Amino acid sequence: MKYIKGGVCAAKGFEAAGIHCGIRKNKTKRDLALIYTKKRAAAASVYTQNLVKGAPILVTQKNLADGYANAIICNSGNANTCNANGIEIAEEMCALTAESLEISPSDVIVASTGVIGQPLSIEPIKNSMKRLADALSADGSVSAAEAIITTDLALKEVAVSFTLNGLMCKIGGIAKGSGMIHPNMATMLAFITTDVAITPLMLQKALSADVQDSFNMISVDGDTSTNDMVSILANGEAGNPVINSEGEAYDIFCKALSMVTRFLCRAIAKDGEGATKLIECSVTGAKDKNTARIAAKSVVCSSLVKAAMFGADANWGRILCALGYSGAELDVTKIAVAFSSDPGTVDVCKNGTGIPFSEENAKNVLSADEIKILITLGDGDASAVAYGCDLTYDYVKINGDYRT
pTM of the model: 0.86
Q: Which of 269, 287, 312 is the last residue of a domain?
A: 269
- Dihedral of the CA atoms 126, 132, 133, 137 (nearest 10)? -170
**Range 299-320 burial, b when 16+ CB lie within 10 A, else e:** bbbbeebbebbbebebbbebbb
Q: The domain that contains 393 carries what CATH number?
A: 3.10.20.340
Q: Which of 217, 241, 269 is the last residue of a domain?
A: 269
Tally of domains in the chain: 2
Instruction: Give the whole-angstrom CA distance, residue 365 versus residue 88.
Output: 52
Q: Which of 269, 291, 306 is the last residue of a domain?
A: 269
Residue 345 structural domain: 278-400
Q: Are residues 120 and 192 in the same domain?
A: yes
Q: Are residues 78 and 210 in the same domain?
A: yes
Q: What is the pLDDT of residues 221-255, one digit of tens each?
A: 555 556 678 999 999 999 999 999 999 999 999 99
Q: Are residues 334 and 310 in the same domain?
A: yes
Q: Are residues 173 and 118 in the same domain?
A: yes
Task: Please give the DSSP secondary-structure letter assigned to residue 166.
Answer: T
Q: What is the pLDDT of residue 402?
A: 59
Q: Which of 113, 187, 224, 291 is catalytic?
A: 187
Q: Are residues 343 and 324 in the same domain?
A: yes
Q: Residue 56 belongs to what H/E stretch?
A: helix 55-63
Q: What is the pLDDT of residues 72-112, one digit of tens each?
A: 999 999 989 888 899 999 999 999 999 999 999 999 999 99
- Among this protein's residues, is 193 annotated catalytic? no
Residues in the chain: 404
Name every residue whose Cβ is closer than 8 Å to that of residue 360 and which is 6 or more positions away in sequence: none
| 360 close to 366: Cβ distance less than 8 angstroms | no
Strand partners, 230: 46, 190
| 388 close to 279: Cβ distance less than 8 angstroms | yes
Question: Strands across the sheet with 382-389, in order?
Answer: 353-354, 344-350, 336-341, 370-376, 278-286, 382-389
Q: Three-state DSSP class for 150?
A: coil
Instruction: Give the whole-angstrom CA distance, residue 283 versus residue 285.
Output: 7
Instruction: Give the whole-angstrom CA distance, residue 217 versus residue 222.
Output: 11
Determine the angle formed by the axes of helices 86-101 and 123-134, rounding to 10 degrees: 30
| Positions of the chain with pLDDT under 70 | 178-187, 220-227, 399, 402-404
Q: Are residues 236 and 357 in the same domain?
A: no
Q: Are residues 291 and 262 in the same domain?
A: no
Name every residue whose Cβ is closer than 8 Å to that of residue 311 and which is 6 or more positions away in sequence: none
Q: What is the pLDDT of residue 100?
A: 97
Q: Are residues 234 and 178 in the same domain?
A: yes
Q: Three-state DSSP class for 134?
A: helix
Q: Are residues 237 and 287 in the same domain?
A: no
Q: Are residues 221 and 287 in the same domain?
A: no
Q: What is the pLDDT of residue 185?
A: 39
| 120 close to 89: Cβ distance less than 8 angstroms | yes
CA distance from start to end of the chain? 45
Q: Are residues 101 and 155 in the same domain?
A: yes
Output the CA torsion sign for 272, 273, 277, 280.
negative
| 328 close to 295: Cβ distance less than 8 angstroms | yes
Q: The domain that contains 143 carries what CATH number?
A: 3.60.70.12
H helices of 232-389, in order, are 248-270, 289-301, 303-310, 317-324, 359-366
Question: Of 313, 317, 373, 377, nearest to 351 (Cα)?
Answer: 377
| 14 close to 35: Cβ distance less than 8 angstroms | yes
- Per-residue DSSP letters for 170-233? EEEEEEE-SSS--------EEEEEE---B-HHHHHHHHHHHHTTTGGGB-SSSPPPSS-EEEEE
Rounded to whole angstroms, what are the CA distances from 154 to 177, 205, 264, 273, 276?
A: 10, 30, 11, 11, 13
Q: What is the pLDDT of residue 221?
A: 55
Task: Please give the DSSP secondary-structure letter assigned to residue 96.
Answer: H
Q: Are residues 216 and 87 in the same domain?
A: yes
**Range 379-392 burial, b when 16+ CB lie within 10 A, else e:** beebbbbbbbbbbb
